[in-house]
C-alpha cells in the first residue's frame, strides 16, 4: 500500500511534475533548500536508473520465492507485475550489419535506443530473395531490380523487405504485391534512390534463436560435430559493440532481429518561463520526458531523489528521510 500524500496529485502523463513538486514540498517545508531543474533532472535520471536496475533483482528474488513456494497466483502474482514493467522497455528491431557475420548491438544510432539486456536474437532461417535496386518508380513504393526473379523465388505479399535507407539503420518494409519478376510494391514510399541493397524474408522463417556463448566456449563449440552452430541452432559472441554470428553464413541485411530491454529515457522536467523567480512546468516542450516507470514507483523515486538532493545540499536529515521511505517501500514488498 502506498503511503500518505504522495500519490494524491500523481498522474501518469506528468509524473515527473508530481515527483518534483513533492520533492520541493519536502525540502521547502523544513527550509532544507532548493534544487534547480537541471539538478532535479540529474537526480531524477539517477533515481530512475536505480529503480529500473532493481526491477531485475526484484524479479529474480520473486522467482526464488516462487521456487520456495512462498508466492501466490492471480492477484498475488508479483512476478507478473515485474514482467509487465520490464516488458514496457522491450524493443524488437533488426540489427545493423557491420561486416559479414558481424552486427552492431542496439544503439541510438541504429535501433533508436541503448540496450540494457539483449534478451534474444532471432535469425531468419532462409533468405527468399536478395539483390540491389536498379530503378525507382510507383511513387517510391516500387522495388525494382532488373536482375531479380521475385516470382520464381516465391516472394509474396506480406514478406519482409529489409533495406538500409539511411546508414546504418535497417528498415523493414512489407511486400504489398508482386508485380512481375523484377518489380515489387512495398507498403512505404521510401525507395527514393537506386542501388539500395535489399533482402527479402518470409515472416514464418524468423524462428531460429541464436544462443549467446562465451568466448571461452565458442572455439570448442564450433569444433564439435554435435554442437557446431548452424542455421537451425545459431550462436553469437559479443566483443565490444559487435555481435559475431555463427555460422558465418548469417551475413545479410536484416537477417538478425534482436529483442532487447532498453534503458529508460532520461527524464526531463521542462519549463517555459520564470514567474516570480519560479519556472513554470510545461510538458509541451520538445525535450520533455516523463518518467517511464509505473506510477507506483513514485514513492521510490521521491525517496531516492531526496537522498541525492540531501547529499547535494549536505542535509543529512533529508537523506535519512529518503532512506526511511525507501525502507518502508522495501518492507511492503
Partner 1 sequence: MAYLSQYQYYENAGTAPTDKNWGSYQYVGLEDIVNNFQLMYSGNHSLVNNEERFKILFHAKRGIQELNYDAFMEIKALELTVYDNLTFVLPSDYVNWIRISLYKDGWLRPLNENIQVNSAQSYLQGAGGTLTFNADGTVITNTSTLDTERKNGQQNSIYLNQNNAVDQVEDDNASDFYSDYSIGARYGLNTETANVNPTFRIDKKAGVINFDSTMLNENCILEYISDGMEGGDDSQVSVNKLFEDYVYAYIEYAILNSKFNVQEYIINRARKRKTALLRNAKIRLSNIHPGRLLMNLRGQNKWIK
For residue 109, count CB atoms less than 10 angstroms from its CB and return exposed for 0-12, middle for 13-18, buried for 19 or more.
exposed
Our finding on whether 8 is near partner 1 (CB under 8 A) is no
Residue with cell 502474482: 77
- Out of 213, 245, 252, 293, point to the residue binding partner 1 (CB under 8 A): 213
- For the chain, the straight-line distance linking the first and the last C-alpha, in angstroms and rounded, comes to 9
Binders of partner 1 among 262-291, rule CB under 8 A? Answer: none
Our finding on whether 157 is near partner 1 (CB under 8 A) is no
Rounded CA separation 231/197 (Å)? 22
Residue with cell 527550509: 31
Beta bridge pairs of residue 129:
200
> Quick one: 39 or 66, whose CB is closer to partner 1?
66
Minimum separation from the CB atom of position 150 to partner 1 (A): 16
> Quick one: 193 or 230, whose CB is closer to partner 1?
230
Binders of partner 1 among 113-142, rule CB under 8 A? Answer: 125
Our finding on whether 73 is near partner 1 (CB under 8 A) is no
Our finding on whether 15 is near partner 1 (CB under 8 A) is no
CA angle 263, 307, 54 (to 5 degrees): 35
Q: How far is CA 140 from CA 48, 134, 190, 196, 221, in A?
A: 43, 13, 6, 12, 46
Q: How far is CA 75 from CA 78, 139, 333, in A?
A: 8, 52, 14
- Out of 90, 224, 327, 328, point to the residue binding partner 1 (CB under 8 A): 224
Half-sphere exposure of 240 (CA within 13 A, CB side): 5
Our finding on whether 61 is near partner 1 (CB under 8 A) is no
Element (H, E) at 20: helix 15-29
Rounded CA separation 263/291 (Å)? 12
Our finding on whether 233 is near partner 1 (CB under 8 A) is yes
> Quick one: 20 or 79, whose CB is closer to partner 1?
79
Rounded CA separation 311/200 (Å)? 55
- Out of 36, 193, 230, 328, point to the residue binding partner 1 (CB under 8 A): 230
Minimum separation from the CB atom of position 216 to partner 1 (A): 12
Our finding on whether 248 is near partner 1 (CB under 8 A) is no
> Quick one: 167 or 232, whose CB is closer to partner 1?
232
- Out of 109, 132, 157, 231, point to the residue binding partner 1 (CB under 8 A): 231
Our finding on whether 63 is near partner 1 (CB under 8 A) is yes
Give the binding-site size for partner 1 (rule: CB under 8 A): 18
- Out of 232, 273, 286, 331, point to the residue binding partner 1 (CB under 8 A): 232
266 is written with which cell numbers? 532520461
Our finding on whether 221 is near partner 1 (CB under 8 A) is yes
Judged by the rule CB under 8 A, the positions of this chain that interact with partner 1 are 63, 66-67, 125, 211, 213, 217, 221, 224-228, 230-233, 235
Amino acid at each position: 500500500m502506498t503511503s500518505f500524500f504522495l500519490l494524491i496529485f500523481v498522474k501518469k502523463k506528468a509524473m515527473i511534475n508530481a515527483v518534483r513538486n513533492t520533492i520541493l514540498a519536502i525540502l521547502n517545508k523544513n527550509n532544507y533548500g532548493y534544487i534547480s531543474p537541471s539538478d532535479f533532472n540529474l537526480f531524477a535520471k539517477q533515481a530512475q536508473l536505480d529503480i529500473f536496475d532493481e526491477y531485475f533483482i526484484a524479479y529474480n528474488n520473486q522467482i526464488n520465492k516462487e521456487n520456495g513456494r512462498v508466492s501466490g497466483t492471480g492477484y498475488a502474482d508479483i512476478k507478473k507485475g515485474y514482467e509487465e514493467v520490464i516488458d514496457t522497455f522491450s524493443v524488437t528491431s533488426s540489427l545493423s550489419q557491420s561486416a559479414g557475420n558481424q552486427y552492431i548491438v542496439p544503439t541510438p544510432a541504429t535501433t533508436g535506443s541503448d540496450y540494457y539486456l539483449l534478451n534474444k536474437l532471432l535469425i531468419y532461417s532462409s533468405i527468399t530473395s536478395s539483390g540491389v535496386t536498379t530503378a525507382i518508380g510507383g511513387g517510391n513504393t516500387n522495388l525494382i531490380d532488373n536482375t531479380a526473379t521475385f516470382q520464381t523465388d516465391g516472394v509474396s505479399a506480406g514478406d519482409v523487405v529489409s533495406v538500409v535507407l539511411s546508414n546504418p539503420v535497417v528498415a523493414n518494409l512489407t511486400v504489398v504485391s508482386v508485380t512481375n519478376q523484377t518489380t515489387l510494391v512495398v507498403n512505404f514510399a521510401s525507395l527514393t534512390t537506386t542501388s539500395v541493397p535489399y533482402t527479402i524474408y518470409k515472416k514464418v522463417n524468423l524462428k531460429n534463436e541464436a544462443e549467446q556463448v562465451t568466448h571461452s566456449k565458442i572455439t570448442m563449440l564450433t569444433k564439435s560435430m554435435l554442437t557446431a552452430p548452424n542455421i537451425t541452432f545459431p550462436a553469437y559472441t559479443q566483443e565490444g559493440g559487435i555481435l559475431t554470428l555463427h555460422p558465418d553464413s548469417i551475413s545479410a541485411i536484416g537477417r538478425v532481429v534482436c529483442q532487447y530491454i532498453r534503458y529508460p529515457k532520461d527524464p526531463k522536467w521542462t519549463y517555459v518561463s520564470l514567474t516570480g523567480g519560479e519556472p513554470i512546468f510545461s510538458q509541451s516542450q520538445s525535450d520533455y520526458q516523463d518518467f517511464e516507470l509505473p506510477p507506483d514507483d513514485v514513492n521510490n523515486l521521491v525517496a531516492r531523489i531526496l537522498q541525492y538532493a540531501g547529499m547535494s545540499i549536505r542535509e543529512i536529515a533529508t537523506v535519512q528521510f529518503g532512506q526511511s521511505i525507501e525502507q518502508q517501500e522495501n518492507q511492503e514488498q
